Every structure is written in C-alpha cells, then in structure tokens.
C-alpha cells in the first residue's frame, strides 16, 4: 500500500527523525489523554483551585488526582482513557491486517470495545460518548455503520458535532505518510463517518490526519503550511456532496447545505489567538469538535514559534503547552489527546517530558506497537514477519478470547464496588477536613477569649 516514501532517502537523518516523530505522535496523544484526566469536565476556575502549582508528574512523587465522582471511575493510575483506546483500535486493526486500513474492521472492533473494552490490556470500556454509544449499539451498525451514523445525525437536527472521531484519527496520519493528500483526506473521511457524519467532524479529521502526514514528510515546517492544509481540507470536504450534505436531503436549500460547513465558524476556531478565545470550559459546547481542533491548531502554532527561536527543542515546550491547555478545563483529556498527537509529532518523542513518558501505564506495550507500526508503514527498517508470532494481541479479542456474560457481570460488579468504595473514602476525607477546619476555627475563638480575659 506504500505509494511514495522517497523522502526518507533524502538525508541519513530523515528516517530516524520520522521514526522519532511517529513515536511522538502516539505517545504525545496518550500522554495528553492521561494528563488531561486530571482536569476533565472541570471549569477553569476549579482546575486552578485543584492544581494551584500547575505541575503534573506521572513518576514518583506522582501528582495526586483530584478526588471526585468522575475521576474515581478510572481505577488504573497514570493511564489513558477511551480516547486513546479508540485510536489503538485503528492501530491494532492495521497491524493485524498487515497494513490494510479498514473502516469496517474498525467498526467491528469498536462494537467489541463498547461491551468488552480493550481486551489485549484488560481495560474496561470507560467513558463511552453519547453519540458513539448510540450509533454502535444500533442493531444495523455492522451492516452499514455509515448509514446508521448518518441517520442518527439527521435525527439530531444536523447539529451534533462532537469530537469522538477526531480523537482517534491521528494514527491515520502515520499510515498515510506514503499517500498523496487526496487519498489521505478520503481515508480520514471514511474513518470519521463510521460514527460521526457531520461535515465539521469530517473536516477536523482530515486536517489532523493531513497535518501529521505532512509533518512526518517534512512538508509542514512553518505556519503558512498549516494554513494551507486548513484551506485544502475545508475546500475538499466542501466539494464532496455526500460529505457536505450527508443523506443528500432534498428538503434543504442550497444556503442551508452551505451552512452545514460555515466558513466563519470554521475560521473562528482554527485561527484562535489564545486559549481564552476558545472558551474550552463552556458547558454548552464542552465536546464540540471545533473547540478540540482549535486548541490543537493553536498549540501547533505556538509550538512552531517556540521551537523556531530555541534549538534544540526543550521538553518544556510540550509540557508547558499541554499544561496550559488542560488548566482551561472542559473536555481536557480529549483536547489534550488530539493536541498531544499533533504537537508530539512536531517536537518528536525525544522532546516529550520524561516525568510523563516514563510513568505512563502500559508504556512499554505501547512502544512495541508503535515500533511495529513504524516498520509496517516503512518509516523504520526491519522485518514485519519477525514479530508476527508474538503479536497475537492485535486480534479483535486481544488474543485472549471474549469475556462471557458472567465474566462481564462480575467485572461490572467489581467496578461498581470500587467506585462506591472510593466515593465513601472521598466523603470521609472531606468530612475529616471539614471537622479539622472547624476545630481550628474553634481553637482560634477560644484563644481569642482567653487573650481578652487576661487583659481584663
């Protein structure tokens, strides 16, 4: 499937740099996801109150996660969430099918994930999005995922455009490194519409995928190159009738069809000047795909400016930008997952903060899969055949078989018990802190009484 990888031979360092950037993409995304969980769904002021030092570490001493009902659901410390799981489904499908990109195989794996989770790592399905859950659980999903997604979008009034397909698309940028831009856009679109038919979701996926492809190929080196991809992706989706107006609804006027991919709305997000411009913690639009895309583009622009003025690139660039992003609150893990992929591709794995990368749960496993991905796409030298026998976990069931109903029920009970136990511990801790604070106040009051009586 590899079309054009001649660029890898242009200089002895190009291949090693491309490999570093592939690892930066996959690990940057997973790290953004894991760090983003610290502030996911918090308003900005609450994120700042909970983490006043604005520093996070996944190695000892690990930064403690804020104790609340949302974060208590995630029982594995220092781990990514469903965002990275979904991206891994695309990677595992690609590896298992020896370099074939198959939206249908991904759809089948996603249906397994909804019930079973990520079997290869025994990860339960935590954080199922409302749209993804509704589409995948439809009885007709496997027969025609695109039709189910399209009908659900139309039924919603053509307004629902969440970030669920954008958060998983970044591996496609690596897989498309040898393809032309037209084919890259088509592959990204085909994978998006498995669950997300809205043209805003599609154009966002096209942009993320194309940016990663372009950075890997050395074709995106300045902000003008980013702007060119933004325009090309927008124009391409606009020119595809089946993507611009899913369902080809005759009831819509030409103006209404054009409004489905409004240029001003698009430009307002991809040309944001600051995090504040994006209002990432807005409760009404917390998972809006353009917000997620906008923060990734902004971070890339800022990263380009910082790396242009400082050589070599410091790990602080990635850490500081991702930290600034997640401290805005909102859908922080998904925003940082998407941003981490693109920014990680730009700076490379060697410039990711070691206090994050060295503490990521399942990091060694992820490294092995990324290494094989590099070999499969042709970025790294080496035989794919040599690792086939030990890569059984790329199968849809993770090489372990699917859990029975009894096993699923038992796991669900264990998770519920864990959540209830953590909630109980959290409430006891809060009550203890409250009583402690009241005790201090009472002590100060007594001291004041004692002091005033001694004066008299």
> What residues are designated binding site?
81-83, 331, 333-334
Question: Are 370 and 380 in contact, with CB atoms under 8 Å apart?
Answer: no
118 beta partners: 123
123 DSSP 8-state letter: B
- Are the C-beta atoms of residues 98 and 375 closer than 8 Å to each other? no
Torsion of CA 400, 401, 407, 413, to 10 degrees: 60
Distance (Å, whole) CA 181 – CA 210:
7
Q: Is 17 exposed, middle or buried (0-12, 13-18, 19+ CB in 10 A)?
A: middle
Peptide bond into 61 cis (omega under 30): yes
Rounded to whole angstroms, what are the CA distances from 265 to 261, 278, 357, 443?
A: 8, 12, 36, 57
How many CB atoms neighbour CB 315 within 10 A? 16
**Beta-bridge mates of residue 288:** 162
Tell me the three state secondary structure of residue 76: coil
C-beta separation of 135 from 50 below 8 A: no
Residue 29 near residue 173 (C-beta atoms within 8 A): no
Tokens linked to 302: 């800022």
C-beta of residue 130 within 8 angstroms of C-beta of residue 160: no
**Which residues, other chains included, contact 313 with Cβ-Cβ below 8 Å and sequence gap of 6+?**
307, 347, 348, 351
Q: Which DSSP category does 88 fall into?
A: H
122: left (phi over 0), alpha (psi -120 to 50) or beta: left
Task: Give strand pairing partners of 162.
Answer: 288
Q: Which residues sit in the known binding site for Mg(2+)? A: 81-83, 331, 333-334
DSSP class of residue 403 equals P
CA distances from 12 to 9, 45, 213, 330, 383 (A): 7, 49, 20, 43, 20
Rounded CA gap, 282 and 284, in Å?
6
Peptide bond into 369 cis (omega under 30): no
HSE at residue 415, side-chain half, CA atoms within 13 A, is 16
CB atoms under 10 Å from CB of 64, counted, come to 10
């Amino acid at each position: 499937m590899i079309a054009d990888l001649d660029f890898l031979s242009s200089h002895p360092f190009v291949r090693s740099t491309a490999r570093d950037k592939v690892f930066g993409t996959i690990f940057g995304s997973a790290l953004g996801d894991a760090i983003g969980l610290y502030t996911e769904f918090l308003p900005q002021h609450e994120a700042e109150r909970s983490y006043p030092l604005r520093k996070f570490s996944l190695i000892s001493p690990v930064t403690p996660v804020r104790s609340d009902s949302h974060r208590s659901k995630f029982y594995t410390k220092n781990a990514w969430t469903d965002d990275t799981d979904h991206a891994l489904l695309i990677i595992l499908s690609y590896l298992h099918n020896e370099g074939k990109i198959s939206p249908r195989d991904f759809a089948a794996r996603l249906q397994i994930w909804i019930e079973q989770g990520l079997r290869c790592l025994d990860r339960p399905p935590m954080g199922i999005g409302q749209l993804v859950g509704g589409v995948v659980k439809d009885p007709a999903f496997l027969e025609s995922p695109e039709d189910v997604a399209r009908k659900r979008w139309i039924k919603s009034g053509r307004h629902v455009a969440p970030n669920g397909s954008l958060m998983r698309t970044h591996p496609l940028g690596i897989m498309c490194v040898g393809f032309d831009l037209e084919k890259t856009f088509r592959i990204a679109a085909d994978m998006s519409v498995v669950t997300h038919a809205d043209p805003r979701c599609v154009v966002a996926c096209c942009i993320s995928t194309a940016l990663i492809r372009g950075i890997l190929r050395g074709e995106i080196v300045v902000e003008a190159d980013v702007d060119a991809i933004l325009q090309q992706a927008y124009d391409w989706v606009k020119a595809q009738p089946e993507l611009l107006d899913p369902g080809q609804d005759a009831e819509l006027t030409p103006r209404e069809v054009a409004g489905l991919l409004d240029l001003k709305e698009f430009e307002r997000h991809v040309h944001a000047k600051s995090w504040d411009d994006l209002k990432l913690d807005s409760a009404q639009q917390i998972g809006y795909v353009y917000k997620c895309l906008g923060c990734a583009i902004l971070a890339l622009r800022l990263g380009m400016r910082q790396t242009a003025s400082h050589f070599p690139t410091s790990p602080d660039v990635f850490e500081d930008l991702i930290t600034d992003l997640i401290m805005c609150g909102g859908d922080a893990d998904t925003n940082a997952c998407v941003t981490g992929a693109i920014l990680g591709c730009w700076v490379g794995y060697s410039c990711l903060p070691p206090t994050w990368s060295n503490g990521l749960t399942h990091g060694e496993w992820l490294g092995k899969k990324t290494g094989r991905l590099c070999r499969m796409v042709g970025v790294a030298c080496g035989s794919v055949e040599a690792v086939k026998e030990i890569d059984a976990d790329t199968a849809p069931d993770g090489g372990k078989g699917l859990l029975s109903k009894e096993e699923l029920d038992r796991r669900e009970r264990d998770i519920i018990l864990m959540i209830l136990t953590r909630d109980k511990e959290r409430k006891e801790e809060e009550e203890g802190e409250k009583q402690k604070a009241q005790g201090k106040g009472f002590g100060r009051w007594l001291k004041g009484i004692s002091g005033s009586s001694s004066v008299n």
